[in-house]
Amino acid sequence: MVGAGYNKKVLEHFLNPRNMGKMDDADGVGEAGNPVCGDIMFLYIKVDEKTDRITDIKFETMGCAAAIATSSVLTEMVKGKTIEEALRITFNDIVRELGGLPSIKLHCSNLAVDALKNAIDDYKKRSGYKKKI
Amino acid sequence: MKVYLDNAATTRMDPDVVSFIRPFFEDVFGNPASIHCYGREAMKHVEEARSNLANCINASENEIVFTSGGTESDNLAILGIARSLKHKGKHIITSKIEHPAVLEACKQLEKEGYNVTYLPVSRDGVVNVDRLNETIRKETILVSIMHVNNETGSIQPIEEIGKVCRDNDVLFHTDAVQSFGKLNIDVKRMNIDLLSASAHKFHGPKGIGMLYVRDGLYLHPIMYGGHHEMGLRPGTLNVPGILGMMKAAEIAYKELDKTHAHIKRLSKKVVDGILGSIPESYLNSPSPTDVDEGRDNRYTRWYPGVVNIRFSFIEGESLMLLLDKEGIACSTGSACASGSLEPSHVLLAMGLRPEQAHGSLRFSMSRFTSIDEIDYLLEKLPACVERLRKISPFKNAEALDRFIRKHHQRYKT
């Protein structure tokens, strides 16, 4: 199975996605994407208030193989990081972690970054988070 | 097991066609334009092919031009007629569901100062003939509407369209790439002035097609060179291709009824099987229950060999890849697999929402498709759909609608 120019790692994350599912007691939920382009991601995070670390993260994605793979690999990259560290992850980091994506699929990695940012924003809003001085 | 359900994209060559054209690679290799005996022999076969192919659609042999395929035929027809008739008018009418070969040729004409009307279609993907009639004006020089749509199999009422065009003294071109060899076509009865066909869609070789041009019509060529094909299409003739196309057409039309019955049977199994076993799956192609069945037991609005089905809450390319992993080949209306960000323009024109178009798959059969292949598809598909539904954030229509309403302002359609 060649899979439309996807490399082995992308296909692996597509066929065996990590951290897939809904989190009912999430501390933050981020939604990204739109039906017009065809990819929609939901990211759920659990954050330890004291350390600011993202202790658990899950995703649900309706989208192409690249969208599912980027969601999956993002959750692996984010789990255990602090909010600050997580916000520094760029779409290039995700693409590099996957070993590359076909150029028409690069926007999927942008989607993952958006979903993460939205999840963190949601957490900050819910928890009344104030940046430590 | 390997299952090929993408016959609308291309078909396997009939083994009889393969063996038939072999001598034209090895022995009868002359250039038909040469006046020596090698050339004359090749030309003799080409002219026989021309005559046979013309007969398939009730045309005359001097009305057939050989091209490299459907795309070139569409381009030659549309650009060729438009440019030769621009003194008469610069308005062209086509439909929103045409193949890109037609749409892009029209867009090019718009750049050259022509006006193009893209007619909308019904939910069944069919053009309204009254609306066409109202749209024709004094400056209209050409109507181009495809016979069978490649994504959904919807059949346009081309005989009525032809009549409207003839009554209004406007030329009528039809892209018959998906219908030639599958449906009966009579260019005289249907008032067709130009028609495109492509061999690899009916078990012939790739790289060869034809354009029927009614006698007396003058087109500007779109390529320049030698004097082949009455000056309309320069270039040494693809002799093996032409003979392959002839043989494939001969077999297709000889087996037409038997093939259609076979495909109809398979198609019914696919549709009933999928809709019956997978919740939230819907037929995008015109439903056979909604359309009349003609006296010859054919659906009048749908060619059943092309089955387009949407699956809620999941996306087409990922489903297509899961099926591919099981050895099953099909196609999708999702943008992700097409190289653009927009989903199928055909499905959108039929009134589907973007996420519905993105969640659509096309299964297309041929006379070589077996019932076992369909059984295998029906066996593997449900688990693939279920797998993607587990990954999807949307488990029901309310959840999806809620998402769309919540983010509505951010979407540009």
Q: Does A5 touch chain B (CB under 8 A)?
A: no
* Strand-pair partners of B67: B209
B403 contacts on A by Cβ (under 8 Å): 31, 40
Q: Are strands B171-175 and B140-144 parallel, antiparallel or unpaired?
A: parallel
**Do you know the residue count of chain B?**
413
Chain segment B231-254, per-residue pLDDT in tens: 999 999 999 999 999 999 999 999
Percent of chain B residues past pLDDT 70, beyond the cut: 96
Distance CA(B363)–CA(B379), nearest Å, equals: 15
Percent of chain A residues past pLDDT 90, beyond the cut: 80
B393 contacts on A by Cβ (under 8 Å): 22, 31, 40-42, 60-62
State yes or no: pLDDT of A2 exceeds 50. Answer: no
When CB atoms are compared, the residue of B392, B407, B410 closest to A62 is: B392
Quick one: average pLDDT of A109-121? 94
Q: Does A56 touch chain B (CB under 8 A)?
A: no
| Final residue belonging to a domain, choices B233, B253, B273 | B253
Distance CA(A82)–CA(A57), nearest Å, equals: 12
Chain segment B49-74, per-residue pLDDT in tens: 999 999 999 999 999 999 999 999 99
Q: Confidence class of residue A109 from pLDDT cuts 50, 70 and 90?
A: confident
- With residue B241 as reference, give the H or E element that holds it: helix B239-254
Q: Are residues B303 and B163 in the same domain?
A: no
Residue B253: left if φ>0, alpha if ψ -120 to 50, beta else—which one? Answer: alpha
Residue B165 sits in which domain range?
Answer: 15-253
Nearest Cα residue to B230 out of B37, B62, B9, B57: B62
Q: Are residues B157 and B74 in the same domain?
A: yes
Distance CA(B224)–CA(B320), nearest Å, equals: 41
State yes or no: pLDDT of B412 exceeds 60. Answer: no
Percent of chain B residues past pLDDT 90, beyond the cut: 90
Helix (H, G, I), strand (E, B) or coil at A51: coil
Q: Are residues B308 and B391 in the same domain?
A: yes
Q: Are residues B231 and B264 in the same domain?
A: no
User: What is the structure's pLDDT at B38?
Assistant: 97
Q: Are residues B246 and B294 in the same domain?
A: no
Q: Are residues B349 and B389 in the same domain?
A: yes
State yes or no: pLDDT of B155 exceeds 50. Answer: yes
Quick one: average pLDDT of B301-319? 96
State yes or no: pLDDT of B338 exceeds 70. Answer: no
Q: Are residues B204 and B261 in the same domain?
A: no
Q: How far is B358 from chain A (nearest CA, A)?
A: 6
In the block, tokens 């030659």 appear at B76
DSSP secondary structure of B55-111: HHTT--GGGEEEESSHHHHHHHHHHHHHHHTTTT--EEEEETT--HHHHHHHHHHHH
Q: State whether B315 and A62 contact (CB < 8 Å).
A: yes
Distance CA(B373)–CA(B266), nearest Å, equals: 10
Quick one: average pLDDT of B210-236? 95
Q: Are residues B114 and B235 in the same domain?
A: yes
Catalytic residues of A: 37, 108
Q: Does A30 touch chain B (CB under 8 A)?
A: no
Q: How far is B334 from chain A (nearest CA, A)?
A: 7
**Number of cross-chain residue pairs from A and B with Cβ atoms under 8 Å apart:** 91
State yes or no: pLDDT of B106 exceeds 70. Answer: yes
State yes or no: pLDDT of A18 exceeds 90. Answer: yes
Distance CA(B373)–CA(B7), nearest Å, equals: 13
Please classify residue B71 by burial: count the beta carbons closer than 10 Å to its beta carbon, then call 0-12 exposed, 13-18 middle and 19+ buried.
Answer: buried
Q: State whether B325 and A107 contact (CB < 8 Å).
A: no
User: What is the structure's pLDDT at B34?
Assistant: 96
A31 contacts on B by Cβ (under 8 Å): 393, 403, 406-407
Q: State whether A68 and B353 contact (CB < 8 Å).
A: no
CATH number at residue B126: 3.40.640.10
Q: State whether A60 and B393 contact (CB < 8 Å).
A: yes
Q: Are residues B220 and B99 in the same domain?
A: yes
A3 contacts on B by Cβ (under 8 Å): 321, 324
Distance CA(B227)–CA(A21), nearest Å, equals: 66
Q: State whether A60 and B391 contact (CB < 8 Å).
A: yes
Q: Does A90 touch chain B (CB under 8 A)?
A: no
State yes or no: pLDDT of B413 exceeds 60. Answer: no
CATH number at residue B397: 3.90.1150.10
Q: How far is A17 from chain B (nearest CA, A)?
A: 9
Give whole-number Cα distances, B322 to B10, B153, B327, B386, B389, in Å: 21, 24, 9, 11, 13
Q: Confidence class of residue B333 from pLDDT cuts 50, 70 and 90?
A: confident
- For the entire predicted model, the pTM comes to 0.94
Quick one: average pLDDT of A102-118? 91
User: What is the structure's pLDDT at A128?
Assistant: 81
Q: How many CB atoms lie within 10 A of CB A88?
A: 10
Q: Does B103 touch chain A (CB under 8 A)?
A: no
B313-343: string of b/e by CB count within 10 Å (b at 16+)?
bbbbbbbbbbbbebebbbbbbbbbbbeeeeb
Q: Does B354 touch chain A (CB under 8 A)?
A: yes
State yes or no: pLDDT of B316 exceeds 50. Answer: yes
What value does the mean pLDDT of chain B take? 95
Q: Are residues B261 and B186 in the same domain?
A: no
Distance CA(A98)–CA(A11), nearest Å, equals: 10
For this complex, say whether ipTM is above 0.90: yes
Distance CA(A78)–CA(B236), nearest Å, equals: 61
User: What is the structure's pLDDT at A130?
Assistant: 61
B392 contacts on A by Cβ (under 8 Å): 60-62
Sheet containing strand A28-34, edge to edge, reads A28-34, A39-48, A53-62
| Final residue belonging to a domain, choices B197, B223, B253 | B253
Residue of A nearest to B357 (CA): A38
Distance CA(A99)–CA(B299), nearest Å, equals: 49
Residue of B nearest to A6 (CA): B321
Q: State whether B314 and A64 contact (CB < 8 Å).
A: no
State yes or no: pLDDT of A1 exceeds 50. Answer: no
Q: How far is A94 from chain B (nearest CA, A)?
A: 19
Quick one: average pLDDT of B266-294? 90
Whether B336 is catalytic: yes
| Final residue belonging to a domain, choices B230, B253, B276 | B253
User: What is the structure's pLDDT at A103?
Assistant: 85
A67 contacts on B by Cβ (under 8 Å): 315, 318, 336
State yes or no: pLDDT of B307 exceeds 90. Answer: yes
Q: What domain count does chain B have?
A: 2
Quick one: average pLDDT of B358-368? 97
A22 contacts on B by Cβ (under 8 Å): 393
Q: Are residues B315 and B403 in the same domain?
A: yes
| H helix and E strand count, chain B | 13, 13
Q: How many CB atoms lie within 10 A of CB A80?
A: 13
Q: Does B315 touch chain A (CB under 8 A)?
A: yes
Chain segment B161-202, per-residue pLDDT in tens: 999 999 999 999 999 999 999 999 999 999 999 999 999 999
Q: Are residues B45 and B182 in the same domain?
A: yes
**Do you know the residue count of chain A?**
133
Cα–Cα–Cα angle for B37, B43, B45, rounded to 5 degrees: 110
